[in-house]
Structure 1
């Protein structure tokens, strides 16, 4: 039977996926089951001392919170690490309330502390491996070019998180090639790439194997809410250990280095996430952050638009088809243009005329959800014009992306709240 090139590629991809599944099953069967126990909601105890979260194991210094890594203190409840009882508690008050009540305790967190930690790690002449975690749903917003420059001096593995939330029709090889091209201008462009997710165990095996393969220092780094701590908890769980690192929808949940031992000799440090200054969540109240950090498979919503129509993202931002009405060449009549919005399933969308956009926002801004923290905030508009046909994605940090096929004369705009650092709006080659 004669195959086309595409048929051959599909057959090879199928064989690779089957081999990956076999390898995952073999790894799962080879792992010994070790029962772990939790004494109570405050104190976590591993079945075997010296493995799991070993932040305070054999430590001669001050006791640290095993949830965020900060030194425990009883002096000031406004500062990180505050505890009611250091002797009896392994979690600070902040982590305890996040973990068991999903409630954020507001505390003063200095961004410079995070940068100092990275500088300190990178100053050693010893061999080091970095795991640079990025969010597949916010690749432009996940990148920190200055951080990539720093870690490029050491061994780096790029960890692409949350890929299981993509539609099942998107092949892993396509995601892999897309990410590789995305980092083609980076000093870490030749690094190994791992596609992973903290939700499904099948995607965690490769990361666990990498973490257990070396005995020199390893560090998990990246932007806040890229999913670093969730990945570490998934690895601990797969390794039959207690997933004790505190994770949440809030930024900066991890505040200092947390040491994790997968064996007695093998360990990795989970580090604090650097603040996502360009994320739209910054312009909203924390109670709305569930809308911006994806937990379920992404939703595709398709609109057929004429020029002069806008799509609202709740009460946050809007996308407008400004100019470039399409025409049906066969009958010479106007034709609508298709736009595919990839968004959080919970996020409400609303279509309106572009001329009514400002009026719609002002009239409904108090009742829309999610909505902006500052009702009088200013907006800024990003404009995109096209002179040829190509498949395009426009990413809005925190809201997903818009997929469409451009053509000569098309003009689009994205209007977002004006923040101190700006909400990142980027144009990329289409992934799906």
Structure 2
């Protein structure tokens, strides 16, 4: 490392350290509005973290940074050529929205451990054995072959001993790649793994905001192998990726879900703030149970009044988000779904939650959500 006047150059000190200790991005100090920027006052800190990670850690404020997904997919494709254990973390609240499509072809013959995070969000009466069977079935339906499924809550430390045990049993003397979509709790889980497997005295950056890990972080283990924390994949089919940052606390629950059951006649509508709309178009009177964040206001009305109500009250009574923020979101797309008789199904809206259809007589329903958001019918989770 070069010296100037007998002292180390701040510029060269940062360059030698190369990567942010929080998110893994390459450090730089010339462009404050670009990823990896380190202000002059922070260049002698140990460890060195970028300005964005500093703001996340100290102010819970993450700036939006665009990541080249093609580069990430090329990186992910390299896993097949390694001998590794792949730990795929998914968000139970947004299962179909957080499963990595086509993961199997990226990882080759390497075993996959499916870690299902955020089980603390489900009602406490949930049958975990039934839930595990449901996860295995859904994983298979998404083309994913898994060595095992572990249910956990990184936030509550529930089931985490089992995650650590299964990683130890399955990895042998191999590296461990941790993969997942943004905001599934991946970095929180990584920090727990560090405390069990490594004497590394640092933590990767953790935030409620998407896109926290900006580059692969290689975390050395005591046996000479590594945990490789990869950037989260951004899926624009998740409502949580589209809404303004201020709206995230309303759609992303941080407390156990409190099911809301509505007895509906046909031709009734439910609004989820100003973000989505559910129409019970046709069918006998029946109940529908909503599994959404308790911070998201829900409003019921008649279908014949729904259009006018939305036009007049979107952004105020029907909020979040604000009217101006709604105008920046993609226009709604209608999804018409037929629920067969005697079927036990959920109407799933990625990033928002799901509606459990409880009737036995069948129903015709419409879901309106921003264009591109994943909406589908699935077997009932609960």
User: When the two structures are superposed, what TM-score results if normalisation uses the length of structure 2?
Assistant: 0.87
Q: Structure 2 residue aligned with 1:146, among 80, 83, 102?
A: 102
SS of the residue corresponding to residue 263 of structure 1 reads coil
Match of 2:375 in 1: 425
Q: Structure 2 residue aligned with 1:357, among 306, 327, 340?
A: 306
> What's the C-alpha RMSD, in Å, of the aligned pairs?
2.2
- CA deviation profile, 1:109-152 (whole Å, cap 9, x unmatched): 32223223212333x3x311100111111111112222232124
Match of 2:240 in 1: 281
Tell whether 2:90 aligns with 1:94: no
Contact 1:152 1:187 in 2 (8 A): no
TM-superposed CA distance for 1:355, in Å, is: 1.5
SS of the residue corresponding to residue 344 of structure 2 reads strand
SS of the residue corresponding to residue 302 of structure 1 reads strand
Match of 2:38 in 1: 83
- CA deviation profile, 1:33-66 (whole Å, cap 9, x unmatched): xxxxxxxxxxxxxxxxxxxxxxxxxxx9642111
Inter-CA distance 278–382: structure 2 relative to 1 (3 Å threshold): same
Match of 2:6 in 1: none
Q: Structure 2 residue aligned with 1:222, among 173, 177, 180?
A: 180
SS of the residue corresponding to residue 76 of structure 1 reads coil
TM-superposed CA distance for 1:396, in Å, is: 0.5
Inter-CA distance 237–73: structure 2 relative to 1 (3 Å threshold): same
Inter-CA distance 364–221: structure 2 relative to 1 (3 Å threshold): same
- After the TM superposition, which of the residue ranges 204-213 and 368-377 deviates more from structure 2? 368-377
Contact 1:391 1:430 in 2 (8 A): yes
Inter-CA distance 241–297: structure 2 relative to 1 (3 Å threshold): farther
Q: Unaligned 5+ residue runs, structure 1?
A: 1-59, 327-335
Match of 2:346 in 1: 393
Inter-CA distance 79–210: structure 2 relative to 1 (3 Å threshold): farther
Aligned pairs for 1:169-318 within 5 A: 169-213=125-169, 214-237=172-195, 244-318=203-277
TM-superposed CA distance for 1:393, in Å, is: 0.6
Contact 2:93 2:121 in 1 (8 A): no
Q: Give the whole-Å Cα distance in 2 for the aligned partners of 1:128 and 1:282.
A: 30
Contact 2:291 2:353 in 1 (8 A): yes
- After the TM superposition, which of the residue ranges 80-89 and 377-386 deviates more from structure 2? 80-89
Contact 2:263 2:286 in 1 (8 A): yes
- After the TM superposition, which of the residue ranges 369-378 and 103-112 deviates more from structure 2? 369-378
TM-superposed CA distance for 1:409, in Å, is: 5.4
Contact 1:392 1:406 in 2 (8 A): no
Inter-CA distance 106–392: structure 2 relative to 1 (3 Å threshold): closer
Q: Give the whole-Å Cα distance in 2 for the aligned partners of 1:387 and 1:108.
A: 42
SS of the residue corresponding to residue 259 of structure 2 reads strand
Q: Unaligned 5+ residue runs, structure 2?
A: 1-14
Match of 1:381 in 2: 334
TM-superposed CA distance for 1:406, in Å, is: 4.2
Inter-CA distance 211–385: structure 2 relative to 1 (3 Å threshold): closer
Tell whether 2:79 aligns with 1:129: no
Q: Give the whole-Å Cα distance in 1 for the aligned partners of 2:163 and 2:221.
A: 12
SS of the residue corresponding to residue 341 of structure 1 reads strand
